Amino acid sequence: MAAPNPAPAGPCKVVLAASIAKLLSQEVQAGLAALDRKPHLHGFLANKDPAARMYAEWTGKTCRENGFDFTIREVEREDLEDELRNANSDDAVDGVIVYYPVFDSKRDRTLQWTVSMYKDVEGLSPQLISNMYQNIRFLDPPNNLQKSILPCTPLACIKILEHLRVYNTFLDYGKRLFGRRITVINRSEVVGRPLAALLANDGAEVYSVDVTGVQHFSRGSGLKKQKHDVTDMEGWGLEQCLPISDVVISGVPGDSYKVPTHLIREGAVCINFSSEKVRGDSIEPVNLNMHTDNHYRTSLLMSRSAHRSTCLLSAR
Amino acid sequence: MAAPNPAPAGPCKVVLAASIAKLLSQEVQAGLAALDRKPHLHGFLANKDPAARMYAEWTGKTCRENGFDFTIREVEREDLEDELRNANSDDAVDGVIVYYPVFDSKRDRTLQWTVSMYKDVEGLSPQLISNMYQNIRFLDPPNNLQKSILPCTPLACIKILEHLRVYNTFLDYGKRLFGRRITVINRSEVVGRPLAALLANDGAEVYSVDVTGVQHFSRGSGLKKQKHDVTDMEGWGLEQCLPISDVVISGVPGDSYKVPTHLIREGAVCINFSSEKVRGDSIEPVNLNMHTDNHYRTSLLMSRSAHRSTCLLSAR
């Protein structure tokens, strides 16, 4: 990725993600003020990866800046399951984050399954993931005070779409994307598929695109279904999806893939998470790195270009 | 029109226009509070039509309820031009409204041209109308403190679209409809054509439809033009416009014309002014009369229907 540049002048509306993060941070502050003590997040570090350590320290810095307590818990990886079980039953532990990979194999999944869904800030517990796909939004019906946690990258994308008023707050909660058509390029289990499901559950018609083809995520005519269904769109490609989409979200990692921007309609909102590793969430500031080249503008914006430049958000 | 009925249950979101009017009224109150005296509107009545008298009295009631002074000035029609000239130079007269028709001929136009554009609350002065089409929004550039007045029915429609968040306040003033496609069925000089121009000047792609065909009102790719251009769309009809429109506004008077609602896309916002005489503005409350039949829902709403019912606002 090129060095950050100033926002490009031109026909697109560019938004610094920092401005979105600032507002989210204010929301978090308001929530914190209602509590009688600081929430305490515990970060479990069980590998020797210096990058994981840096990320953990950065989490801690962000937590403290935002009024949370944070403790790094360095443990041997064979002890981690026990440590997580202890944390689950420890009232002093409000939230748990694990720095993956630990075993760097399928065994890591059992660690994800061990964290209590009531303390899982990453939204990786099976019940939370199932709730997300099933459009079950609360853990405590019918009281509905405790939200089912969403994974951070799809959630960051939703927060961005809310900020851009793509979510129409005039409509009822849970239906605020009704009438929007959204293309999501990427169908990974980490970002693309959960994001498509969330957007469709909020009322959008979603075209989920990857190398295997296009799938349509939708709650059906009049949002009659309580959750989205998925349909294979035989013969469809970006040629069909992009010209009818109000929003285009690209999450293809690496530099080799380019969105065919000439297919994007004027006025479309374009977001790109340039790597699967790219992360933003509702607690940590969303950092924006911007650059331009002939194909991309790495920034969040409303496309106003006659040249239909793709405009991207890099939140890491 | 049938008697008002309760809002129909069903897949559409119905909005009582009274709720919009209430918010507008609050905005007006805030503006009034900043003044050192009540603005005084003078209504000139120079015909013997009992309906005009009733309308004038209703204007007065609404004015007084909203904190304005109002005086009905009954004059002989041959004296009206002189009376208007006097009012133009009378500092005690803040606003002028004339109850038309007076001569019920083209001569009425010279009355419209006589009212000072600085006192013309109906926005019928030639300079105001020209400003509207030319996308000139202020009378006092570069200070831009004094807005060029818009005619009330198109303005009411814009206020409604703002309320429904069709105007995206995330975008810059003057461009908040960028990316929206809007069909306006009716191209009268009173409603349809000024409305199409206003919407296009605010950034929308507008399809203006009447019996003579379809015209496209647009500021061009990337809103490069300062005001809209108009292009004839040869071979186009509602079959081309409605399926791609986010908003459908129908202003065809009378009961005989029906919008082919099966062509309207899901999630479209549908508004109908059922008569050219129908009026709403930013001062007077917008009254909503609702009825249903097999073709129409007379109400303002977000269409959520599998049956794609047309949903209409009747503001009179």
Query: Is pLDDT above 60 for B9?
Result: no
Q: Is B247 on the interface with A (CB under 8 A)?
A: no
Residue A142 pLDDT > 80, yes or no? Answer: yes
Position B10 pLDDT exceeds 70: no
The answer to whether A268 contacts B179, with C-beta atoms less than 8 Å apart, is yes
With a cut of 90, say whether residue B215 has pLDDT above it. yes
What is the structure's pLDDT at A206? 98
CA distance A79 to chain B (A): 50
According to the model, what pLDDT value does residue A274 have? 62
Residue A244 in 3-state DSSP?
Answer: helix
Do the Cβ atoms of A165 and B165 come within 8 Å?
yes
What the block records as the tokens of B126 is 């030639």
Q: What is the pLDDT of residue B291?
A: 22
A68-77, A195-204, B95-104, B244-253: which range is least confident on average? Answer: B244-253
A contact test, residue of B221, B245, B301, B307 with most A CBs within 10 A? B221
ipTM reported for the complex, 2 dp: 0.73
d(CA A206, CA A185): 10
Q: Do B178 and A246 touch (CB under 8 A)?
A: no
Q: What percent of chain B has pLDDT over 70?
A: 83
Lowest mean pLDDT among B170-174, B242-246, B267-271, B303-307: B303-307
- Whether B41 shows a pLDDT value over 90: the answer reads yes
Inspect the interface and report whether the beta carbons of A163 and B170 lie closer than 8 Å: yes
Across the interface, whether the CB atoms of A266 and B305 are under 8 A apart is answered no
pLDDT at position A126 = 94
Out of A11, A178, A224, name the one closest to residue B222 (CB): A11
- pLDDT-derived band at B289 (thresholds 50, 70, 90) equals very low
* Residue closest to B281 by CA, chosen among B203, B191, B180, B209: B191
Sort out which chain A residues have CB atoms less than 8 A from B180's CB and list them. 267
State the average pLDDT for chain A. Answer: 82
The yes-or-no answer to whether A12-18+37-119 and A154-272 have a common fold is yes
Predicted pLDDT of residue A173 = 92
Q: Are A180 and B267 inside 8 Å of each other by CB?
A: yes
Fold of B154-272: Rossmann fold (3.40.50)
**What average pLDDT score do residues B32-46 get?**
93
Closest by Cβ to A164, choosing from B170, B203, B268: B170
- pLDDT of amino acid A273: 73
Give the distance from CA B153 to its chain's centroid: 2
CB contact under 8 A, B222 and A304: yes
pLDDT at A316: 22
Separation in Å, CA B160 to CA A31, A105, B28, B256, B313: 33, 56, 16, 25, 10
Residues 166-225 of A with CB under 8 A from B: 168-172, 178-180, 221-224
Is B311 catalytic? The answer is no
B15 to chain A: nearest residue by CA?
Answer: A170
Check pLDDT > 80 for residue A183.
yes
Task: For residue B298, name the pLDDT band (cuts at 50, 70, 90).
Answer: very low
In degrees and rounded to multiples of 5, residue A244 shows phi and psi of -105, 5
DSSP letter at B222 equals G
For the domain spanning A12-18+37-119, the CATH number is 3.40.50.10860
* Listed range (A72-86, A161-175, B14-28, B190-204) with the worst mean pLDDT: B14-28
- On whether any CB of chain A is under 8 Å from the CB of B262, the answer is no
List B152, B157, B241, B311, catalytic entry: B152
pLDDT band of residue A279 (cuts 50, 70, 90) is: very low
Evaluate if residue A71 carries a pLDDT over 80.
yes
- Of all residues in chain A, the one with the smallest CA distance to B223 is A304
* pLDDT, position A241: 97
In this structure, the dihedral spanned by the alpha carbons of residues A188, A192, A198 and A201, taken in order and rounded to 10 degrees, is -90
Side-by-side strand order, sheet with A13-15: A13-15, A300-302, A269-272, A247-250, A181-185, A205-210, A213-218, A229-232
Q: How many CB pairs under 8 A join A and B?
A: 66
Q: What is the pLDDT of residue A252?
A: 82
The tokens of A172 are what?
Answer: 């009822």
Whole-angstrom distance, CA of residue B98 vs CA of residue B43: 6
Q: Which residue of B has its CA nearest to A266?
A: B179
Q: How confident is the model at residue B314 (pLDDT cuts 50, 70, 90)?
A: very low
Mean pLDDT, residues A263-287: 57
Domain boundaries, chain A: 12-18+37-119, 154-272
B140, pLDDT greater than 80: yes
Give the model confidence (pLDDT) of B100-122 as tens digits. Answer: 999 999 999 999 999 999 999 98
- The larger pLDDT score, comparing residue A9 to residue A172, is at A172
